[in-house]
Amino acid sequence: MATPPPADGEADIGAINEILGFHIRLAHGACLRHFTETFTDLDLTQKQVSVLWLVDDHPGIAQTDLAQRLRMDRATTMAIINRLQAKHFLRRDRSDKDGRKQALFLEPAGVAMLARAKQAIGEHEAWVKSRFSDKEVKLLIDLLSRIHE
Amino acid sequence: MATPPPADGEADIGAINEILGFHIRLAHGACLRHFTETFTDLDLTQKQVSVLWLVDDHPGIAQTDLAQRLRMDRATTMAIINRLQAKHFLRRDRSDKDGRKQALFLEPAGVAMLARAKQAIGEHEAWVKSRFSDKEVKLLIDLLSRIHE
DNA sequence: TATTGTTATACTCTATAACTATA
DNA sequence: TATAGTTATAGAGTATAACAATA
């Protein structure tokens, strides 16, 4: 249903349902909720998984680069990195090229956790994608990409 | 670009870009960011505007009903209602039919603020929709609705 | 018993500002 | 000056738990 629960049998074709941003927020909320349930055992958040994934794809990546890729503030990035470091999932190394930068690398525990996380993400994605055909998934990704480009 | 900033000239067609949930989160973040900028003067959040809008569309609505429509927890709803009440945008009245329920109504200040908010939402929506044709907007809303239904 | 509202608590994300170190 | 990281702070949303009042 476009609006969550019409509650009664009222018409309820309120203009708020025609607001694109409204649907983006609800869809995001639904995804976040399911993600959280899927990851309760692993005790990881969406952002944390994204960071582990990107550090694995780009060993030695700097915090600033991470922040840009995930559209985060530097301070926000710090908070996430701190939590992951406290769990020994990654480490900070001083960059050789630029003394200001910290090069990030996954620790063994981080590699192991990422492997488990990717499997959980597979389940989570299957839940989301079950509503769509392959063609629709590609279309949706294309449309959403135009927003966050 | 699918991934925020490729930073270097690297290929970077990492699998994370094929994750639908990843794009939903980024798109939501971009919308939230622009929304916040648009509403700095009005000092309202997305959730707060949604609540004002729904209370206006459904005078006397109960907090539980609001929570269902916006997919929120009761405690979360309370926090939002409290802030709006502190600003004198709405009031709680004891329901006649059910003593457990609180009937919510907009105060004059809330009506005025909602009018301004709707205009700001128009600008915000124009920003989001500028990327799409009318047909694509309807398509996107349809696809997103399947996720939060 | 179940529902509604309420309070308290905690965590994450987000953002700003100010500070240090390096370029 | 500009960049990268750091720290402190604050607000908002989310969720859980426990409690009181009402149905």
**Residue ranges per structural domain of chain A:** 16-148
Strand D footprint, Cβ within 7 Å: A 29, 32-33, 36, 62-64, 67, 74-75, 78-79, 81-82, 92, 98, 100-102; B 43, 45-48, 70, 72-76, 79-80, 83, 98-100
Burial of B13 (0-12, 13-18, 19+ CB in 10 A): exposed
SS3 per-residue string spanning chain B:
CCCCCCCCCCCCCCHHHHCHHHHHHHHHHHHHHHHHHHCCCCCCCHHHHHHHHHHHHCCCECHHHHHHHCCCCHHHHHHHHHHHHHCCCEEEEECCCCCCCEEEEECHHHHHHHHHHHHHHHHHHHHHHCCCCHHHHHHHHHHHHHHHC
Residue B96 to chain A, least CA–CA distance (Å): 18
Amino acid at residue number B45:
T
Residue A29 to chain B, least CA–CA distance (Å): 8
pLDDT lower than 50: segments of chain A: 1-14
The pLDDT tens digits of the residues spanning B58-114 come to: 999 999 999 999 999 999 999 999 999 999 999 999 899 999 999 999 999 999 999
The percent of residues in chain B predicted with pLDDT above 70, rounded, is: 91
The pLDDT tens digits of the residues spanning A72-100 come to: 999 999 999 999 999 999 999 989 999 99
The pLDDT tens digits of the residues spanning B18-70 come to: 999 999 999 999 999 999 999 999 999 999 999 999 999 999 999 999 999 99
- Do residues B139 and A36 make contact, with C-beta atoms less than 8 angstroms apart? no
Q: In 3-state terms, what secondary structure has residue A32?
A: helix
- Do residues B61 and B103 make contact, with C-beta atoms less than 8 angstroms apart? yes
- The third-level CATH classification (topology) of the domain covering A16-148 is Arc Repressor Mutant, subunit A (1.10.10)
Amino acid at residue number A57:
D
Q: In 3-state terms, what secondary structure has residue A102?
A: strand
- Do residues B49 and B121 make contact, with C-beta atoms less than 8 angstroms apart? yes
Q: Does domain B15-126 sit in CATH 3.90.1150.10?
A: no
Task: Give strand pairing partners of A75.
Answer: none
Pairing of strands B90-94, A102-106: unpaired
Quote the CA–CA distance of B74 and B63 in Å, as a whole number: 7
> Can you say whether the dihedral through the CA atoms of B80, A15, B141, B23 is positive or negative?
negative
